[in-house]
Amino acid sequence: MIILLSNDDGYLADGINILAAHLKKIAEIIIFAPKENHSGSSSALTLRSELQIKKIDDNIFCVNGTPADTVYLGLSGFLDVEPDMVISGVNHGANLGEDVLYSGTVAAAIEGRSLGIPSIAISSINKNNNNYKVAAQVAVELVEKLKSHPFPSDTILNVNVPDRSMGDLNGVVATRLGTRKKSYPIPVSNNEKYTYNYLIGAPGEGHDAGPGTDFHAINNDSVSVSPIQIDMTNHTIIEDLRDWLI
């Protein structure tokens, strides 16, 4: 098995390198990741400038672009082999609820799935090497399971791992995406007339965070695995929309 690894924290990030070390026990690993941090870039593609792929070492490449750029290039003929799976992570922080709309980590997995490759996004709630090691072990177990039990072709697995040791995890549970409370921008300074400077605020706390959600799983020390899909069509109201348009 060949796994292409990407992320949004950059190819030098601890999370992706710890994940690579663990996955090398069960697969051939190719790191194809951004040169620099691109957190919050969602599925942006670089269309107005050239992208540069740089070989760092055997099976390690960095790209001066977004997470989606890296996976697009990695799966579009640059490599001599075609990966069997794309894994994005381990992200330095959570990707819960609406986070998936903004996350470069999730976007890399979405790009892999849109190009026909089974894909996983994996994130660690806390940001230290011990947590990344736990998330990497979880990833290994999921990959082994996917070998014998593939998931549907339109599905990406969004995985979040709580701040617990492997032995203290409360299982792995299937979840839906919850929602967050609104986050407000943080004012920085207003030194010029009619100019207003803000920073985007930290993510809001869980709002729809009850049983069955990714927030609930994490709050109960469980690994959350949410199946998400590329098709955002609201199929349940297509007939109503047709009637409305008449």
Q: Is 105 part of any domain?
A: yes
Residues in the chain: 246
Three-state SS annotation for the chain? CEEEEECCCCCCCHHHHHHHHHHCCCCEEEEEEECCCCCCCCCCCCCCCCCCEEEEECCEEEECCCHHHHHHHHCCCCCCCCCCEEEEEEEECCCCCCHHHHCHHHHHHHHHHHCCCCEEEEEECCCCHHHHHHHHHHHHHHHHHHHHCCCCCCEEEEEEECCCCHHHCCCEEECECCEECCCCCEECCCCCCCCCCEECCCCCCEEECCCCEHHHHHHCCCEEEEEEECCCCCHHHHHHHHHHHC
Cross-strand bridge partners of residue 146: none
The Cα 166–Cα 212 span in angstroms is 22
**Could you report the per-residue pLDDT of 4-39, keeping only the tens digit for each?**
999 999 999 999 999 999 999 999 999 999 999 999
User: Cα(7)–Cα(103) distance, rounded to whole angstroms?
Assistant: 10
Residue 190 lies in a domain: no
In a domain, 95, yes or no: yes
**What's the confidence (pLDDT) of residue 193?**
83
Checking if the pLDDT of 102 tops 90, the result is: yes
Q: What's 46's domain CATH number?
A: 3.40.1210.10
**Per-residue confidence (pLDDT) for residue 202, from 0 to 100:** 83
For residue 99, is pLDDT > 90?
A: yes
Task: Provide the pLDDT confidence category of residue 151 given band limits of 50, 70 and 90.
Answer: confident
State yes or no: pLDDT of 112 exceeds 90: yes
What's the number of domains the chain is made of? Answer: 1
Which residues fall within 8 angstroms of residue 149, CB to CB, at 6 or more apart? none
Is position 56 within any domain? yes
> Domain for residue 197, yes or no?
no
Classify residue 24: in a domain, yes or no.
yes
Domain range for 131 is: 2-180+206-245
Q: What's the whole-number mean pLDDT along residues 103-109?
A: 97
* Contact (CB, 8 A) for 73 and 63: yes
% the chain with pLDDT above 90: 86
* Portion of the chain with pLDDT greater than 70, in percent: 100
pLDDT (tens digit, 9 = 90+) per residue, 178-230? 999 988 888 887 778 888 888 887 888 899 899 999 999 999 999 999 999 99
pLDDT given at position 195: 87
Q: What is the pLDDT of residue 183?
A: 84
pLDDT digits (tens, 9 = 90+) for 82-91: 999 999 999 9
35 touches 54 (CB < 8 A):
yes
In whole numbers, what is the pLDDT of the chain averaged over residues?
Answer: 95
